[in-house]
Homo-oligomer: A and B are copies of this chain.
């Protein structure tokens, strides 16, 4: 056994334990008895303790020094292990424990404050969480930019300044497009009551149509849709809303995008540091291209219109064109997770600017709500009517997730780049989608992106897939063409 082999054998067990810990999370959201929360907290903490001890095991540094990797895959494995070790050892154990304790309480306090529309009740907790994350960021960045250090957890290699430039170039065009759509005649909306059973049947059909492999996954109901796990056991959840089957349809396709990425990784990378998506941003590029560029395309919605009718009967929409317009309807809504493709990015950019200012210290927590409401009205053209529609709408900050939001918009940018390259390579793509055949698209994504797992850094992953450096231009052009056509601009 060489040092490399020893390290990889150790790492393999760590990866397996991380899968177990992740599955505990799945269990908690789907099947856990409600009276088990206290015990589950201790189980989670014990698993975290085991994983932390392994990630900071002193032998890893020795193995890393002695290991002689052969080829790019082995080099990439060492890169990922080195990165994890570096991050795990820089944060003092006491601080990590304090963050875990505070954020685990934060969730409940946020949920209560949101239900009561009471921002003030959440602020002391948020102040504490921001202070702890700033302390962590300082430890991680060692004098560099603190926000960049947090970003690095989710999107290795990108900086706040790069995102600022990227989003700064996008925002005026998106605001202008949003304004023009708002002036135009509204799109038709779907109305009615849609039973749960056909919704579940249709989402299952769609998951299979998008290549989700049920022999290595499963679909359950949960309050929030999510995908979890890597390798041979990648599970998704879905939910249904009686007045809006599009919610179940598109959240399922979204989660299938995430799951297909994990299922599509080269089996040779199973339980190695490469056996998962390259970053949150690249992950989101897969979920968003499945959901939007493919799932909400004119071609695919033409087929979906027929499938939806066959499950629910007459939808009250005249034809496939009206269905396509309803699927892509832009309306005055407040909530990011229910947002259309156009407004979604504006939501994310708002959060990015605010959280970056919170971490830098430029924005005091007490001024957050006012800053949110001002920015929202400027970008969306109407005012926030209550905190649960504004600053209290997302769970992320209550769990200490700073640096996570921008990966959502970055994923859209990456999805735009991937779609442009895919359409170059697949001139007959729309003909296939119009038959409900996603095979060419998902096959292209598997070859170009998914099978490589975390072999390359995020930006390099997209560059290798498309042949050029990612820019926001394809996404912006796609959105402008799509919504101009839909709204006759």
Spell out A's residues near B (CB within 8 Å). Answer: 12-14, 16-17, 19-20, 23-24, 27, 31-40, 42-43, 45-47, 49-50, 213-218, 231-233, 235, 270-271
Contacts and interface: CB of A to CB of B under 8 A. Distances in A.
A215 B34 contact: yes
A31 B34 contact: no
Contacts of A43: 16-17, 19-20
A39 B235 CA distance: 14
B16 A23 contact: no
Contacts of A232: 33, 35-40
A323 B200 CA distance: 41
What 3 A-B pairs are tightest by C-beta distance, nearest first? A36-B233, A35-B215, A16-B46
A63 to B, nearest CB: 18
A42 B10 CA distance: 12
Contact of A40 (B13, B233, B235): B233
Given A33-B233, A232-B33, A233-B32, A17 B46 contact: yes
A33 B270 contact: no
Contact of A17 (B50, B215, B270, B271): B50
Given A19-B43, A20-B47, A50-B17, A35 B218 contact: no
A24, A233, A271 interface centre (most CB from chain B within 10 Å): A233
A20 B47 CA distance: 8
A305 to B, nearest CB: 31
A23 B28 CA distance: 12
Contact of A23 (B27, B231, B233): B27
A24 B26 CA distance: 12
Contacts of A231: 36, 39
A218 to B, nearest CB: 6
A19, A33, A235 interface centre (most CB from chain B within 10 Å): A33
Main secondary structure of the interface of A (DSSP, over half): helix
A13, A39, A47, A217 interface centre (most CB from chain B within 10 Å): A39
Contacts of A40: 232-233
Contacts of A36: 216, 231-233
Contacts of A24: 20, 23
15 contacts: A16-B43, A17-B46, A17-B47, A17-B50, A23-B27, A31-B31, A33-B215, A33-B235, A36-B231, A36-B232, A36-B233, A37-B232, A38-B232, A39-B231, A39-B271
A240 B32 CA distance: 23
Given A216-B33, A218-B33, A233-B33, A20 B46 contact: yes
A356 to B, nearest CB: 37
B271 A33 contact: no
A42 B216 contact: no
A27 to B, nearest CB: 7
Nearest to A213: B35
A42 B12 contact: yes
Contact of A31 (B42, B214, B218): B218
Given A35-B213, A35-B232, 11 more contacts: A12-B42, A13-B42, A20-B20, A23-B27, A27-B27, A33-B232, A34-B215, A36-B216, A38-B232, A39-B232, A39-B271
A13 B51 CA distance: 13
Contacts of A233: 32-33, 36, 39-40
Contacts of A31: 31, 218
Contacts of A27: 23, 27
Contacts of A38: 232
A268 to B, nearest CB: 13
B213 A13 contact: no
Nearest to A14: B46
A439 to B, nearest CB: 20
A271 B34 contact: no
Contacts of A37: 232
A231 B37 CA distance: 11
Given A33-B217, A217-B33, A271 B16 contact: no
Contacts of A49: 13
Contacts of A34: 215
Nearest to A49: B13
B33 A16 contact: no
A466 to B, nearest CB: 31
Nearest to A12: B42
